[in-house]
């Protein structure tokens, strides 16, 4: 009996030593590796492909920069290796590709996926596999409201976007003494559009606006004529819209064709109206006087204010043919957040890296290229210092009108907006 007990004690001791040896070996391997794989799920084909390519370009520029500067110095100069997967903007594919990158490609950290409908379930997979994920672009509130420990987001959530839109309308009302009393909402019917609409609904009620139309568009619609008739019949003072690039192109073209006048304009939240490819494909007349909730102040290019980023923007434009977008800047910024975490973690082991990401507090450097003054995550993983700006399309340029302190002296908002027949 004593002998049996002694054997069990010895076996337990051996197992404990084995586990400790395994952990030590894993830690040594993580610290001595020469390459660290970073997984990205992005819409590289399908309706959001242009934005996915912008994000990918920003990511690649950042990684080339990091590797050329010596890689991760705390890990003996280990280089970053990018592993991309195409979600096609489809949740099921985003989920399966996330699992593949984690299980088969053995990435240390994940990022993406722009579309909220993809990011929401894909980050659940990352949480299950205890793999840190830094969200890029997706704003659905619940992404960082599930008490997850491995999911973080540098950019706005939907609550912030909606608040900024209503704050801009309130500011213009205060400055001019006039403004809308009634609002209509028209939005894409997936996670992003519905999350944004829920926040506008709540804020509009709190601020005394009346919603005269609240309409979600079904997927893959090829004609918005019926909805535009509803908007015209409801006679809103302003329209709040949330659509990805293809749908926003269709909406804008049909509004121009039908000469649908809205006294206080169209207020679009990100999505298609932040995509440079959108403006290449649309008549300037269709987007004149549009208000756009921007993830990044579009008329204050970082390369002009921060000369060290001039080369970044030149490379982006050389590859894609237009100026740096908010999504390219976010991809670039995420990679520097990952670099910062790896340097502090001194390890690419997922749990250690997760803890380093959670402790992030960046107040200077390339990680702030997306336009924030600070990146620090709350207990749910949301960067509470994220913010955007509101622009208005004036004379073919998106000019910041909110916040007031970011408005250039020569920018005068058009409020109310001219009717189609009165435009030059």
Q: Tell me, what CATH number does 367's domain have? A: 3.40.50.2300
Evaluate whether residue 20 is within a structural domain.
no
Evaluate whether residue 13 is within a structural domain.
no
Residues 170 and 189 in one domain: yes
Evaluate whether residue 9 is within a structural domain.
no
The contacts of residue 383 (CB under 8 Å, 6+ apart) are 152, 153, 154, 155, 372, 375, 376, 377
User: What's the rounded Cα separation, in Å, for the pair 91 and 120?
Assistant: 8
Quote the pTM value. Answer: 0.90
Residues 318 and 346 in one domain: yes
Q: What is the pLDDT of residue 306?
A: 63
Q: Which of 131, 33, 12 is nearest to 77 (CA)?
A: 33
Handedness of CA 407, 410, 414, 419 (dihedral sign): negative
Reported confidence tier of residue 422, pLDDT bands at 50, 70, 90: confident
Evaluate whether residue 224 is within a structural domain.
yes
pLDDT tens digits, residue range 129-171? 999 999 999 999 999 999 999 999 999 999 999 999 999 999 9
Residues 348 and 228 in one domain: no
Handedness of CA 268, 244, 152, 38 (dihedral sign): negative
Q: How far is CA 52 from CA 35, 152, 250, 281, in A?
A: 24, 19, 20, 17
Q: Which domain holds residue 76?
A: 33-156+301-376
Q: Are 293 and 402 in contact (CB under 8 A)?
A: no
Mean pLDDT confidence for 169-194: 97
The yes-or-no verdict on residue 28 having pLDDT over 50 is no
Answer whether the bond into residue 301 is a cis peptide, omega within 30°: no
Evaluate whether residue 12 is within a structural domain.
no
Residues 49 and 115 in one domain: yes
Residues 129 and 58 in one domain: yes
Residues 198 and 309 in one domain: no
39 three-state secondary structure: strand
Reported confidence tier of residue 423, pLDDT bands at 50, 70, 90: confident
The yes-or-no verdict on residue 23 having pLDDT over 50 is no
Residues 411 and 361 in one domain: no
Q: Are 370 and 155 in contact (CB under 8 A)?
A: yes
Evaluate whether residue 284 is within a structural domain.
yes
Task: Report the chain's mean pLDDT, rounded to a whole number.
Answer: 91
Residues 310 and 289 in one domain: no
Residues 86 and 228 in one domain: no
Residues 229 and 273 in one domain: yes
Evaluate whether residue 23 is within a structural domain.
no
Q: What are phi and psi of 377, to 5 degrees?
A: -95, 140
Evaluate whether residue 186 is within a structural domain.
yes
Residues 360 and 345 in one domain: yes
Q: What is the pLDDT of residue 167?
A: 98
Residues 131 and 166 in one domain: no
Joined tokens for residue 397: 């340029």
The contacts of residue 96 (CB under 8 Å, 6+ apart) are none
Joined tokens for residue 380: 């749910």
Q: What is the pLDDT of residue 160?
A: 98
Q: How many domains does the chain have?
A: 2
The yes-or-no verdict on residue 275 having pLDDT over 90 is yes
């Amino acid at each position: 009996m004593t002998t049996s007990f002694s054997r069990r004690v010895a076996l337990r001791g051996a197992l404990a030593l084995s586990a400790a040896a395994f952990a030590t070996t894993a830690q040594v391997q993580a610290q001595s590796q020469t390459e660290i794989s970073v997984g990205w799920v992005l819409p590289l084909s399908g309706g959001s492909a242009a934005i996915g390519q912008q994000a990918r370009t920003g990511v690649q520029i950042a990684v080339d920069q990091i590797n050329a500067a010596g890689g991760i110095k705390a890990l003996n100069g280990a280089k970053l290796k990018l592993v991309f997967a195409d979600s096609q903007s489809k949740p099921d594919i985003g989920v399966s590709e996330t699992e593949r990158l984690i299980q088969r490609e053995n990435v240390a950290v994940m990022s993406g996926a722009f579309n909220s409908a993809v990011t929401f379930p894909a980050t659940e997979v990352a949480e299950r596999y205890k793999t840190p994920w830094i969200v890029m672009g997706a704003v659905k509130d619940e992404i960082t409201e599930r008490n997850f420990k491995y999911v973080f987001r540098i950019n706005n959530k939907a609550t912030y976007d909606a608040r900024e839109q209503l704050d801009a309308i309130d500011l213009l009302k205060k400055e001019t003494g006039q403004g809308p009393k009634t609002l209509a909402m028209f939005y894409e019917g997936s996670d992003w559009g519905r999350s944004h609409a829920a926040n506008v609904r709540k804020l509009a009620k709190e601020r005394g606006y009346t919603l005269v139309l609240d309409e979600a568009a079904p997927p893959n619609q090829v004609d918005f004529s019926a909805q535009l008739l509803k908007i015209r019949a409801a006679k809103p003072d302003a329209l709040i819209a949330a659509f990805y690039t293809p749908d926003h192109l269709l909406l804008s073209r049909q509004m121009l064709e039908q000469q649908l006048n809205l006294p206080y304009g169209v207020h679009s939240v990100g999505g298609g109206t932040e995509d440079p490819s959108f403006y290449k494909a649309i008549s300037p007349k269709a987007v004149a006087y549009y208000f756009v909730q921007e993830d990044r102040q579009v008329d204050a290019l970082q390369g002009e204010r921060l000369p060290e980023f001039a080369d970044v923007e030149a490379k982006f434009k050389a590859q894609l043919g237009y100026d740096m977008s908010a999504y390219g800047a976010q991809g670039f910024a995420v990679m520097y957040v990952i670099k910062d975490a790896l340097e502090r973690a001194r390890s690419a082991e997922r749990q250690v890296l997760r803890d380093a990401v959670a402790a992030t507090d960046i107040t200077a450097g390339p990680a702030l290229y997306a336009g924030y003054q600070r990146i620090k995550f709350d207990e749910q993983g949301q960067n509470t210092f994220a913010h955007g700006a509101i622009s208005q399309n004036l004379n073919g340029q998106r000019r910041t009108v909110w916040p007031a302190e970011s408005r250039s002296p020569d920018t005068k908002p058009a409020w109310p907006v001219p009717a189609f027949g009165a435009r030059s």
